[in-house]
């Protein structure tokens, strides 16, 4: 009897190359979807761009009357663009997952050799791509319309990007887990969850303006440390390594929690038979 494997040559199934290939397959699947739909690409950049334009005009209006904005005219634009890194980073994970649920494809994926870490790595990779498209579009318009370049932040921009993106991933994974657990009825969470932490992230104001008890909550968020760091760069011209360290350590903790939540939801789905039933 000829073994079945002999009629179709298969590439190695274990090791880093297999990991990259399977993650690449997931990215390919979502890239096919994105590249054939310009409205999808436009919609990714639309919201960040419109928000940026609003804050830019507000800055133009207030700057002549306000010393603070005269000294740091890119303050609000920089803040809104960084906030969108967090928001897009989270959406990139959650929407990639929702897309699989809508298309009732989870069953096919989870009976394939794709492992859970690979599935998560695929979501995170798509999150980076979606964030670059969404925020990149807004950055381009910020330069074209207002001559503001986010790259004027210099090296700290990379640190802020990493700090915010990782927090977005953590929230995105937790939200994906909740959607898996409670079904597409919980889809609204993908859009709304991030706004729960917006007031305590100190995006447009320092954490010090919050009531004392809320400052404690704020400093438990990596985003608050990143935005404090942004203000230090824009207003004082200094880069606060301590804030970056705090943000990254908190990111790590939240990422562990996000991944654990997602794993727990998958365990629940396996126990209750949700993986083959999920869909529109």
| Site map 88..107 versus other proteins, x via CB under 8 A | -----------x---xxx-x
Query: For other proteins, which stretch binds (CB under 8 A), given 32-40, 85-93, 205-213, 246-254?
Result: 32-40
- Alpha-carbon span 57 to 234, nearest angstrom: 19
Task: Report, in Å, the least distance between residue 176 CB and other proteins.
Answer: 17
* HSE-up of residue 146 (Cα within 13 Å, Cβ side): 25
**Site string (34-73) toward other proteins, x via CB under 8 A:** --xx------------------------------------
What's the CA dihedral at 250, 252, 258, 260 to 10 degrees?
Answer: -130
Could you tell me which of 104, 109, 101, 90 has the C-alpha nearest to residue 28?
109
Kindly tell me which residue out of 66, 112, 208, 238 binds other proteins, with binding defined by CB under 8 A: 112
**209 counts as binding other proteins under rule CB under 8 A:** no
Binding of other proteins by 111 (CB under 8 A): yes
Nearer to other proteins, 33 or 220 (CB): 33
Measured in Å, how far apart are the chain's first and last C-alpha atoms?
A: 43
201 touches 217 (CB < 8 A): no
Least distance from C-beta 17 to other proteins, angstroms? 10
Question: 146 is written with which tokens?
Answer: 């207002």
Give the DSSP H/E element, type plus range, for residue 102: helix 75-102
Distance CA 104, CA 278 (A): 6
Q: How many residues form the binding site for other proteins (CB under 8 A)?
A: 47
* 276 alpha-carbon distance from chain centroid: 27
Taking CB under 8 A as the criterion, the residue among 52, 95, 114, 142 binding other proteins is: 114
Contact status: 32 vs other proteins (CB under 8 A): yes
CB of 13 to other proteins, least distance (A): 5
CA distance 43 to 41: 5
Contact region for other proteins (CB under 8 A) — 22-30, 68-76, 152-160, 163-171?
A: 22-30
Nearest to other proteins of 115, 215 (CB atom)? 115
CA neighbor of 194 nearest in space, from 213, 167, 228: 167
CB of 267 to other proteins, least distance (A): 8
**Only segment of 135-143, 182-190, 222-230, 263-271 that touches other proteins (CB under 8 A):** 263-271
Residue 15 binds other proteins, judged by CB under 8 A: no
Residues 86 and 164: beta-carbon distance below 8 Å: yes
According to DSSP H, which parts of 103-211 are helical? 106-110, 116-146, 156-182, 188-192
What is the spatial distance between Cα 37 and Cα 33, in angstroms, rounded to a whole number? 7
Contact between 270 and other proteins (CB under 8 A)? yes
What does the binding site for other proteins look like in residue numbers (CB under 8 A)?
A: 1-13, 18, 21-22, 24-26, 28-29, 32-33, 36-37, 99, 103-105, 107-115, 267, 270-273, 275-277, 279
């Amino acid at each position: 009897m000829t073994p079945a494997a002999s009629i179709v040559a298969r590439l190695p199934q274990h090791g880093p190359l297999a990991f990259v290939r399977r993650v690449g397959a997931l990215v390919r699947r979502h890239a096919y979807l994105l590249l054939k739909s310009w409205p999808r690409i436009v919609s990714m950049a639309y919201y960040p761009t419109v928000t940026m334009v609003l804050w830019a005009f507000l800055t133009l209006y207030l700057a002549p009357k306000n010393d603070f904005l005269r000294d740091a005219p890119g303050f609000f634009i920089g803040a809104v663009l960084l906030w969108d890194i967090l928001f897009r980073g989270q959406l990139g994970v959650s929407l990639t997952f929702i897309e699989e649920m809508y298309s009732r494809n989870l069953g096919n994926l989870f009976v394939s050799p794709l492992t859970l870490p690979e599935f998560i790595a695929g979501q995170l990779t798509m999150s980076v791509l979606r964030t670059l498209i969404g925020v990149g579009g807004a950055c381009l318009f910020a330069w074209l319309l207002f001559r503001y370049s986010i790259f004027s932040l210099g090296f700290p921009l990379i640190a802020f990007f990493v700090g915010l993106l990782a927090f977005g991933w953590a929230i995105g994974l937790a939200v994906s887990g909740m959607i898996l657990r409670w079904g597409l009825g919980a889809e609204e969470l993908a859009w709304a969850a991030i706004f729960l932490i917006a007031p305590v992230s100190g995006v447009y104001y320092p954490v010090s303006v919050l009531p004392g008890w809320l400052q404690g909550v704020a400093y438990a968020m990596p985003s608050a440390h990143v935005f404090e760091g942004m203000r230090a760069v824009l207003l004082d011209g200094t880069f606060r390594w301590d804030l970056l360290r705090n943000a990254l350590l908190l990111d790590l903790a939240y990422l562990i929690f996000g991944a654990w939540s997602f794993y727990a939801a998958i365990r629940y789905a396996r126990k209750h038979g949700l993986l083959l039933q999920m869909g529109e």
